[in-house]
A and B are shown apart, each in its own frame.
Chain A
């Protein structure tokens, strides 16, 4: 029923949240199943962007409280932070992946178990 009403309703917060959730789950699954480190990194990007969609969705004026100081841009700001963060994370993670490859001639994350208990 919830799904059905999603399709009949005009596009609103729920749709954004639904797409975000799908993205998030896709990313999480991607992280869980990919053995290639680059694939895992892609999953991380998906998870981050799923979260970004949620920020955007919840920053719409209808959900926003009355406040003299409110600009209505909090969600957008947060999402831009996340994008910057994602870029930085990608740079660090790729560096790790390169180093890992230099040492092990593979980027299969299942081989990165040196610190296991």
Chain B
């Protein structure tokens, strides 16, 4: 355990997290002073993320050198499929409750993880919350992906945001109250400052070793997203979009807090990994080891603590009994503790056990709820398309490649802690999202909105994959999607930069003028559509194969397979619709076309790099067998290799080994179906948009109800407006009236009463008593003085007599007093 190069990873990755924070701090404090118009701020930010990127790749190299490529695991997995089958039969035979009798199976592979705590916030004795790290191969891969894409997007932003490098920027989309365009100072440095903060938050989110820390970074990326969406703060639409993103995410995060409470209440820890002592023994197990303990073969197991939490009343009764018998001392508590421990097994069989299972479901659903908000899944997907109001590099980084993928990442992270029922919900939500968003993308005409709905749809794919038990498939798609979707967004940014419009109906024929952008975007379209040998092809294959496998294991749930396939066809259709409308055909708007020019090298060089990666990122390195899959396979959570398990509430819900979906038959079917679906979508796009054999307007007229439904995005915004916003406004108005009438009335009334009382007090107490007393004294002194002034006659000789008489009188008095005291 000790002495490997892996020990450097926490430090390396910790600094990789801190580097962008440092550049953020520098830009915050000195940004406007960095060169003309803050030009150097961009380079400072790039320095930060470049450091993070270099450190991440060093970490990846260390990981590879110590742990190997993991290629053997993949092959092992494939011929292990039959073994998994027998394990599955075994567990079905025993039933879900007695899964611990699995000694006859080969021990589950436990992935190498590093867990440690840098700083503990909570006082000793209570469950630990602190700044900790949890590093496995997934973390390392995510670091490399996030920091690399972020680096490219930083470089791209130098070109894209160049127009902010001016004393005065005219914002053509924002108007002052008299209708003129808004003129403002350039904000180049502010953009990079937010970008750095975002990189810090995102990397911290990936590194964090407990749920509380994850949640903190979760909110940090959320607030960065808010800042960046609202970057053009003068535009009303940007303001509304930023608010919408923030508020919709709050809805999800509320669920997440509920989930965290359930997790805390049932497990009493937030840590992902086990806390070890000096000898390497487990002192305090983490969340994953509690739910999948090693002594039960890493099978799903309702932890004792959760059972005891569910049996709250019985535990209280036991403790009260012992306290009554022994009196309140530690001996009684000790005895109570051992009796609770002894009775836990029987509670586990009873209603308390079911209750504990429900706690796990609530914890899982709650955490997934946060992911639904962050990854823009079905009920909360409405914010992401509006978030396109932000600058395009932001859409490429935050709203396609990294932050929205954080939801998928978290589901992947919590995969071993999700019980099958939760995973089914994940799959259902993912399937609905992927279909819904894909259909909306068909009719969208804003180039970025098409990509936004495409992102939502692809995130739905990832959720679907994870929900059907495809851990590798979902996270693999996350990685490949990050590359091609950030490529697509950056291409669209390049187009927008050239055209100064988002509306695809005013583009067309741009390929001649923007060859780099056009061809790299074509690569992105091919990748996302799943053209053979492009990266999206491989990851989508995994997903569809997994849905096929899920349908085989759970008859009646073939719907996921159909949704994924139809989604693949629609994806190809709308992506090529976008490309054909933008780059082919005749220019629709001559005015726009005249001004189009290729973007500067800082913009197209990252595009080319990303295009190369969008093709090849899913390939394996020949010879050593290194690939994204093999890396991810190394991080597969312990116990999920043989399948997640079987449902308890839904007894016929079965998750079997993911490796089963890699069988030749299923894989061939998935490949064929996915390719045919993509081809169908592509051909339809060719027919309508490239060749124009069928008029798009004609189709829209023929299917008018459906077109209307899609054009209005399934009326989700209107629905939420009617169901949530309007009632809230109505209630708010009622409350405001109550506030004005009742509460203000009470406050005003009491204020009036106080005024009246103080007037009375002023009259009676102050004027009469206090002032009266003071005046009385003054009168006395005045009268006394009037008397005394008569003594001062001004006659000198009289004074002499007074002195003499006074002296004599004093002398007489003193001698009288002296003789009296002496005598």
> Which chain A residues have a beta carbon within 8 Å of chain B's beta carbons?
28, 31-35, 40, 109-110, 112-117
A32 with B794: CB separation less than 8 A: no
A28 to B788, CA, bound (A): 25
Q: Any chain A CB within 8 A of the CB of B324?
A: no
Which of B789, B791, B797, B804 contacts A109, CB < 8 Å?
B797
CA A67 to CA B3, docked complex, whole Å = 98
Report the bound CA distance from A114 to B796 in whole Å: 11
Contact residues, B798-815 vs A (CB, 8 A): 800-801, 804
B797 touches A31 (CB 8 A): yes
Tell me, in angstroms, the Cα distance from A117 to B787 when the chains sit together: 10
B803: nearest residue on chain A (CB-CB)?
A: A28
Q: When the two chains form their complex, are residues B793 and A110 in contact, meaning their CB atoms are under 8 A apart? A: no
Q: Which listed residue (B790, B792, B794) contacts A112, Cβ 8 A?
A: B794
- Asked if residues B790 and A110 are in contact (CB atoms below 8 Å), the reply is no
**Which residues in A have their C-beta under 8 angstroms from that of B790?**
117
Asked if A28 meets B797 with Cβ closer than 8 Å, knowing A117-B788, A117-B789, A117-B791, the reply is no
Q: Tell me the bound Cα distance from A114 to B791 in angstroms.
A: 14
Which residues on B sit within 8 Å (CB–CB) of A112? Answer: 794, 796
Pairwise interchain contact B800-A117, C-beta atoms closer than 8 A: no
A31 to B796 CA separation, bound complex (whole angstroms): 9
Q: Which of B776-795 contact A (CB under 8 A)?
A: 788-795
* A-B pairs with beta carbons under 8 Å apart, 15 shown: A28-B804, A31-B797, A32-B797, A34-B797, A35-B797, A109-B797, A110-B795, A110-B796, A110-B797, A112-B794, A113-B793, A115-B792, A116-B793, A117-B792, A117-B793
Chain B CB within 10 A, most for which of A34, A114, A116: A116
Q: How far is the CA of A33 from the CA of B795 in the complex (A)?
A: 11
- Among residues of B, the one whose C-beta sits closest to the C-beta of A30 is B800
A21 to chain B, nearest CB (A): 12
Give the residue name and chain of the A residue nearest to B785 (CB).
Answer: A117
B794 adjacent to A28 (CB under 8 Å): no
A114 (CB) vs chain B CBs: closest residue: B794
Q: Quick check: A116 and B792 within 8 Å, CB to CB?
A: yes
- CB contacts (< 8 Å) of A115 on chain B: these are 792, 794
CB of B756, distance to nearest CB on chain A (Å): 49
Given the complex, which residues of A lie within 8 Å of B795, measured CB to CB?
109-110, 113, 116
Q: What A residues does B800 contact at CB under 8 A?
A: 28, 31-32
Name, among A31, A34, A35, the residue most crowded by chain B CB atoms within 10 Å (CB to CB): A31
Report how far A109 CA is from B790 CA in the complex, Å: 19
Which residues of B (79-118) have their CB < 8 Å from a CB of A? none
Contacts across chains A and B counted by CB atoms under 8 Å: 38
Pair A33/B797 contact, Cβ less than 8 Å: yes
User: Would B804 and A113 count as touching, CB distance under 8 A?
Assistant: no
Nearest residue, chain A, Cβ from B789 = A117
Given contacts A32-B801, A32-B804, contact A109 B796 (CB under 8 A): yes
- Tell me which residues across on chain A come within 8 A of B791, comparing CB atoms: 117
Best-surrounded residue of A28, A32, A113 (most CB of chain B within 10 A): A32
User: Chain A contacts of B796 at CB under 8 A?
Assistant: 40, 109-110, 112
Smallest Cβ-Cβ distance to A116: which chain B residue: B794
In the assembled complex, how far is the CB of residue A63 from the closest CB belonging to chain B, in whole angstroms?
A: 20
Q: Which residue of A lies closest to B792 (CB)?
A: A117
CA distance A115 to B793 in the complex (A): 8
A43 nearest in chain B by CB position: B800
Which chain A residues lie closer than 8 Å to B793 at the CB level? 113, 116-117
- Nearest A residue to B788, CB-CB: A117
Chain B residues with CB below 8 A from A28, complex form: 800, 804
Among B792, B797, B801, the most chain A Cβ lie within 10 Å of the Cβ of B797
Output the nearest chain B residue to A40 by Cβ-Cβ distance. B796
Question: Given the complex, which residues of A lie within 8 Å of B804, measured CB to CB?
Answer: 28, 32
CA distance A31 to B804 in the complex (A): 10
Q: Interface readout for B311-351 with A: 1 if CB under 8 Å, 0 if not?
A: 00000000000000000000000000000000000000000
A6–B328 CA distance with the chains assembled, in angstroms: 106
Closest CB in chain B relative to A38 CB, distance in Å: 13
Residues of B within 8 A of A117 (CB): 788-794
What is the CA–CA distance of A85 and B804 in the complex, to the nearest angstrom? 21
Per the bound structure, the CA–CA distance linking A100 and B365 in Å amounts to: 109
Which residue of B is nearest A28, CB measured? B804
Smallest Cβ-Cβ distance to B793: which chain A residue:
A116
For the complex, what is the distance from the CA of A117 to the CA of B795, rounded to whole Å?
A: 11
CB <8 Å contact, B797 and A113: no
* Minimum Cβ distance to chain B for residue A36 (Å): 11
Task: Give the distance to chain B from A25, nearest Cβ to Cβ, in Å.
Answer: 9
CB-based nearest B residue for A111: B794
* 17 additional A-B residue pairs with CB within 8 Å, beyond A117-B790, A117-B793: A31-B800, A32-B797, A32-B804, A109-B795, A109-B797, A110-B796, A110-B797, A112-B794, A113-B794, A115-B792, A115-B794, A116-B792, A116-B794, A116-B795, A117-B788, A117-B789, A117-B792
- The chain A residue sitting closest to B790, CB to CB, is A117
Q: What's the nearest-Cβ distance from chain A to residue B233, in Å?
A: 79
Return B589 CB to nearest CB of chain A, in Å: 104
User: What CA separation (Å) do A40 and B801 show in the bound complex?
Assistant: 13
**Distance in Å from the Cβ of A1 to the closest Cβ of chain B?**
19
- CA A110 – CA B792 in complex, angstroms? 13
- In whole angstroms, what is the CA distance A32 to B790 when docked? 20
- Smallest Cβ distance from B209 to chain A, in angstroms? 92
Chain B's nearest CB lies how many Å from the CB of A81? Answer: 21
Across-interface contacts of A34 in B (CB, < 8 A): 797
Binary A-proximity of B394-415 (CB < 8 A = 1, otherwise 0):
0000000000000000000000
Q: Which of B256-295 contact A (CB under 8 A)?
A: none
B274 to chain A, nearest CB (A): 97
A41 to chain B, nearest CB (A): 11
Bound-complex Cα distance A35 to B797 (A)? 8
Bound-state Cα–Cα, A32 to B803, Å? 10
Distance from A64 Cβ to chain B, minimum over Cβ atoms (Å): 24
CB distance from A15 to the nearest CB of B (A): 21
Q: Which of A113, A114, A115 has the most CB of B within 10 A?
A: A113
B792, B793, B794, B796 pick with most chain A CB within 10 angstroms: B796
- The residues of B that contact A113 with a CB separation of less than 8 Å are 793-795
In the assembly, what is the distance between CA of A35 and CA of B796, in Å?
9
Q: Lowest 9 CB-CB distances: which A-B pairs, in order?
A: A113-B794, A116-B794, A117-B789, A117-B792, A109-B796, A31-B800, A32-B800, A28-B804, A32-B801
**How distant is the Cα of A113 from the Cα of B792 in the complex, in angstroms?**
9
A53 to B790, CA, bound (A): 37
**Which residues of A are found within 8 Å of B801, using beta-carbon distances?**
32
Cα–Cα, bound, A28→B804 (Å): 7
Chain A residues closer than 8 Å to B792, beta-carbon distance: 115-117
Give the most central of A34, A109, A117: most B CB within 10 Å: A117
Shortest Cβ gap from A54 to chain B (Å):
14
The chain A residue sitting closest to B798, CB to CB, is A32
Most chain A CB neighbours (cut-off 10 Å) among B790, B797, B800, B804: B800
Alpha-carbon gap, A114 to B794, bound state (A): 7
CA distance A114 to B804 in the complex (A): 23
Q: Compute how far the CA of A114 lies from the CA of B800 in the bound complex, rounded to whole angstroms.
A: 17
B125 to chain A, nearest CB (A): 82
**CA distance in complex: A69, B790 (Å):** 52
Q: How far is the CA of A40 from the CA of B796 in the complex (A)?
A: 9
Determine how close the nearest CB of chain B comes to the CB of A103; give it in whole angstroms.
15
Q: Contacts of A40 on B, CB cut-off 8 Å?
A: 796-797
Interface residues of B in 573-632 (CB under 8 A from A): none
Instruction: Tell me, in angstroms, the Cα distance from A84 to B636 when the chains sit together.
Output: 116
User: What is the CB-to-nearest-CB distance from B447 to chain A, in angstroms, rounded to a whole number?
Assistant: 102
CA–CA, A31 to B789, complex, Å? 23
- The minimal Cβ–Cβ distance linking B180 to chain A, given in whole angstroms, is 81
Within 8 Å CB of A110, what residues of B?
795-797
CB neighbours of A35 from chain B (8 A):
797
A interface footprint on B173-184 (CB within 8 Å = 1, 0 otherwise): 000000000000
> Which residue of the partner chain B has the closest CB to A33?
B797
**List of A residues within 8 angstroms of B794 by Cβ:** 112-117
